Structure 1
Amino acid sequence: MSSRLKVAYQGERGAYSEQAAWSLFGKDIEVEPCPTFDAVFSAVEDGACDRGVVPVENSLAGSIHRNYDLLLRHDLHIVGECNLRISHCLIAHPGVRLAEIRRVYSHPQALAQCEQSLRELGEVEVIATYDTAGSVRLIKERGLDHAAAIAGEGAAALYGMAILRREFEDETINYTRFVGLGREPVTPEGESKTSLAFAGKNEPGLLFRCLSAFALRNIDLTKIESRPIRGVPWEYVFYLDFLGSVTEQRCDRALEQLREMAIFVRVFGSYPRARPAWVASDVVEHQP
């Protein structure tokens, strides 16, 4: 019986999520491709896999809302994060020319990150699929000679396909943040980040008071986003990330104050913070 960590991710072999799994947990793991994000969460929660990896936001296309909803639905913890550089390739059968492409397949997030590049191709049909690498496999197995897929370089190599264009994304500063999932929380050492969700009554000033629990203690919030509460129109749950760990006294007290004001607070976990893979000068140079 294998003693290697078994890690679930959404997509086919060669997907960006597979790269993220290696980045988070090392190369000496057993990867388990899953057809959907729901299946990733279930595989970890049910014990079929030790860990899971899902994307939560992209620097161009924004948050992957489905996974924020699933975090709230499942009893799992965030145990790590990584920021993966996404460099898309336009991939087709060997010998096919760019002018011959009539359809382009890929995951909706990848298509959103390549909107301008797709427009430059002219009259092509854009078809959404469930996975980037899976799109390459699809055009390979179906023999679609006038079709291309948007995916990573690794997917082209894995399926023996040709790269028509590299860096097909609209912006080269293109990163996706992935989180690792586990059944038990971790205690991070060094720089850490904490993710949580909370909701409160719809009353004036409540959000300000909730966030003041962190501001008064000089805790840096790195993300806040609202999502609708299912079955309760116009009521929202807030997802929040901050720098620090629940083991720190100031963070623990901030959460204690938040719980006094909110209807519910769910801490997804404190985990090692991934350092940004880019530098500020890169971002400034790409400002419009």
Structure 2
Amino acid sequence: MKKKVAIQGIRASFHEQAAFSFFGEDIQTVECNSFRETCEALKNKQCDYTVMAIENSIAGSILPNYALLRDFHFTIIGEVYLPIQLHLLALPGVKFEDVKYVESHPIAIRQCDDFFDAYPQLQVRERNDTAACAKRIREEQLTDTVAIANILAAKLYDLEILERRIESNKKNFTRFLVLSDPGNAEAIVENPDKASLSFQVGNEIGSLARILNIFSEENINLSKIQSMPVLGKRNEYNFYVDVEWQERRQYETALHKVLRYAVNFTNMGEYRKNEEA
């Protein structure tokens, strides 16, 4: 039976591309309109896994998704660093000089600022999903509109690439997390070397530094730190950190020490780190 994987967006979106990268293409994609909907699908057992974008090398962290991780208590079993290559897609035969409108997801649009500076006559329309823009052009036979999307969308919806690689920064990556229900026996990760942790600290001088120093002392690499305010509490924050290790013993020792100082500590998942392409 094929694995069911929930994604934000539709087929040929970057989320589906990330799912293919992690699981292979022999999966069943569950299309969802929002990130929350992907989490609801996993919670309600409408899928086996969820793939969720968490940060982009240009646009930064996707903060609402950290809140979803906190609220739904899923287990992170993997990550994918996906190179984001953005193309300008149109119906076959459409010429660039005929184009009036460009449609895509707001984050994709922001990643193409240099292109829009060069062609100020183009009117930009923000949509919910890159692939959905490509699909609409095909279904409605739009000859004055192009989409910014990936090569999967071009192939699936039989569109031509008018301009390739229009993203401003060619070293553009999005990091995706692969989420599972904690009770999924098939989602056990062997030999993990990375973990995502969340915790709070007391509002005293040096309380956060004390915890971060523990990781340093145990030779644990801190690859990411993100803070978010605790709702309804002034000057209190949830800290989300990603840590990497070579010796698991050092990682376990570090956790044992951190627990002395951290409040509301949660290990959100241990997994194999994915090196950037």
Give the aligned partner of residue 19 of structure 1: 17
Deviation of 1:190 (Å): 4.2
2:103–2:147 contact (8 Å) kept in structure 1: yes
Output the amino acid matched with 2:260. Answer: E
Distance in 1 of aligned mates of 2:204 and 2:264: 15
The residue number in structure 2 matching 1:65 is 63
**Residue aligned with 1:84, SS:** strand
TM-score scaled by length of structure 1? 0.89
Name the CA distance, whole Å, in 2 between partners of 1:45 and 1:15: 22
Q: Is the 8 A contact 2:192 2:270 kept in 1?
A: no
Amino acid at match of 2:87: C
The residue number in structure 2 matching 1:251 is: 251
1: CA distance, partners of 2:5 / 2:16: 9
Q: Aligned-pair distance for 1:119?
A: 1.8
- Assess if the C-alpha contact under 8 Å between 1:187 and 1:270 holds in 2: no
Q: Residue 38 of structure 2 is aligned with which of 6, 23, 40? A: 40
Residue 156 (structure 2) aligns with: 158
Aligned to 1:272: 272
Runs of 4+ in 1 over 3 A off after TM superposition: 185-191
The structure 2 residue matched to 1:87, chosen from 79, 85, 98, is 85
Determine whether 1:49 maps to 2:36.
Answer: no
- Equivalent in the alignment of 1:280: none
Equivalence for 2:102? 104
SS at match of 1:204: coil
Note if contact 1:45-1:75 (Cα within 8 Å) is conserved in structure 2: no
Q: 172-181 or 121-130, which moves further after superposition?
A: 121-130
Q: Tell whether 2:169 aligns with 1:171.
A: yes
Q: Secondary structure at the match of 2:102?
A: strand
CA contact (8 A) 2:82 2:276 kept: no
- 1:283 alignment partner in structure 2: none
Distance in 1 (CA, whole Å) between partners of 2:128 and 2:13 is: 11
Report how far residue 153 of structure 1 moved: 1.1
The alpha-carbon deviation at position 73 of structure 1 amounts to 0.9
Q: Distance in 1 between matches of 2:268 and 2:229?
A: 18
* Alpha-carbon distance in structure 1 between the residues aligned to 2:231 and 2:144: 42
Matched, 1:209 2:210: yes
Alignment match, 1:136: 134
Structure 1 residue 232, shift from structure 2 partner: 2.5
Inter-partner Cα distance in structure 2 for 1:42 and 1:222: 29
Give the superposition deviation at 1:214. 0.5
Answer yes or no: is the 8 Å Cα contact 2:18–2:176 preserved in 1: yes
2:243 aligns with: 242
Unaligned runs of 5+ in 1: 278-288
Cα distance between partner residues in 2 of 1:27 and 1:155: 15
Map of 1:4 onto structure 2: 2
Q: For the residues of structure 2 that align with 1:46 and 1:249, how far apart are their CA atoms?
A: 36
Measured after TM superposition, the shift of residue 276 of structure 1 is 2.2
- Which of 48-57 and 61-70 deviates more? 61-70
**Per-residue deviation, 1:182:** 0.4
In structure 2, what is the Cα distance between the partners aligned to 1:103 and 1:234? Answer: 45
For 2:205, the aligned partner's letter is P
The one-character-per-residue Cα deviations of 1:223-244 (angstroms, maximum 9, x if unpaired) are: 1111222222443211100113
Task: State the TM-score, normalizing by the size of structure 2.
Answer: 0.92
* Residue-pair matches, total: 274
- Say which SS state the counterpart of residue 207 (structure 1) adopts: helix
- Counterpart among 126, 133, 146 of residue 124 in structure 2: 126
Q: Which runs of 5+ in 2 are unaligned?
A: none
Q: How far apart, in 1, do the equivalents of 2:197 and 2:124 lie?
A: 36
1:231: which partner in 2? 232
In 2, the alpha carbon distance for the partners of 1:219 and 1:231 equals 33
> How far, CA to CA, are the matches of 2:76 and 2:108 in structure 1?
24
Q: Which moved more, 1:107-116 or 1:215-224?
A: 107-116
Judged with a 3 Å threshold, the aligned counterparts in structure 2 of structure 1 residues 102 and 230 are, in CA distance, closer, same or farther, namely farther
Cα 1:96–1:270 change in 2 (3 A) is: same
1:285 corresponds to which residue?
none
Using the TM superposition, give the Cα deviation of residue 217 of structure 1 relative to its aligned residue in structure 2, in angstroms: 0.4
- Distance (Å, rounded) in 1 between the aligned partners of 2:204 and 2:144: 56
- Find the aligned partners of 2:240 and 2:65 in 1 and give their Cα distance: 12
Q: Deviations over 1:93-125 (max 9, x none)?
A: 222222232221111221121111122121222
User: In angstroms, what is the RMSD of aligned CA positions?
Assistant: 1.8
**Take 1:118 and 1:55, find their aligned partners in 2: how far apart are those partners?**
25
